[in-house]
Amino acid sequence: MIKTPVKPLIIICLVFLLGGCGYYFPNVYNGPEKSVYMPTWKNRTDRLGIDNAMYQSLSVWFQKSDKINLTKDKENADLVLAGEIIFIDLPSVGWDSDARTTDIKARLGLRYVLKDLETGKILWEVPDDVYSEDFNTLNEEANNETEAIDQMLTDISEKIYLGTMSRVRAQNNKK
């Protein structure tokens, strides 16, 4: 039977637990409370309701933080997060033997900006962001196009939320 020294093993575990590995949760913000004014995004596409869907998707992500609150009241906000959906493309990229579309690559273009309302300084600006999602039209599910667009909006919202958290953290570290 092999004897393992227990005390050195416990000490090593304690060093790792107490020392930490430097990991942090990027979606958690623990600084002072911030209020973000977020107007409904402008919709430059012919797809009705995509602006509201974007707002709802972003709202879901911002609800993950206890210290960052979305508001429709610009007067009492610390930051503004504004954007617009520039285009949506749904080009066919695959066909079957009967010349029916089988695969579509949805593309969504947008731009957005995060601005400090107190100083007027732009904290983050993305002038041309393009996302894509593939979907199959032969699948028996009801509306794959809508699901693909919803998935893109969720992914975009996550990126914008995490980017906002990063900029707010950096701004607080400078103060």
Can you tell me which residue has the tokens 């913000």? 29
Q: Which residue has the higher pLDDT, 90 or 58?
A: 58
Can you tell me which residue has the tokens 């699901």? 147
Q: What is the CATH number of the domain that holds 144?
A: 3.40.50.10610
Q: Which residue has the higher pLDDT, 122 or 14?
A: 122
5 in a domain, yes or no? no
124 in a domain, yes or no? yes
Q: What six digits make up the tokens of 115?
A: 């601005």
Q: What six digits make up the tokens of 125?
A: 């600006």
1 in a domain, yes or no? no
Length of the chain: 175
Structural domains of the chain, count: 1
9 in a domain, yes or no? no
Q: pTM for the full model? A: 0.76
4 in a domain, yes or no? no
pLDDT given for residue 23 in this prediction:
44
pLDDT bracket for residue 143 (50, 70, 90) = low
Q: How far apart are CA 163 and CA 58, in angstroms?
A: 12
Dihedral sign for Cα 141, 145, 147, 151, please. Answer: positive
CB 42 within 8 A of CB 50: no
- State the chain's mean pLDDT as an integer: 81
56 in a domain, yes or no? yes
| Domain coverage including residue 113 | 28-174
The letter for the amino acid at 148 is A
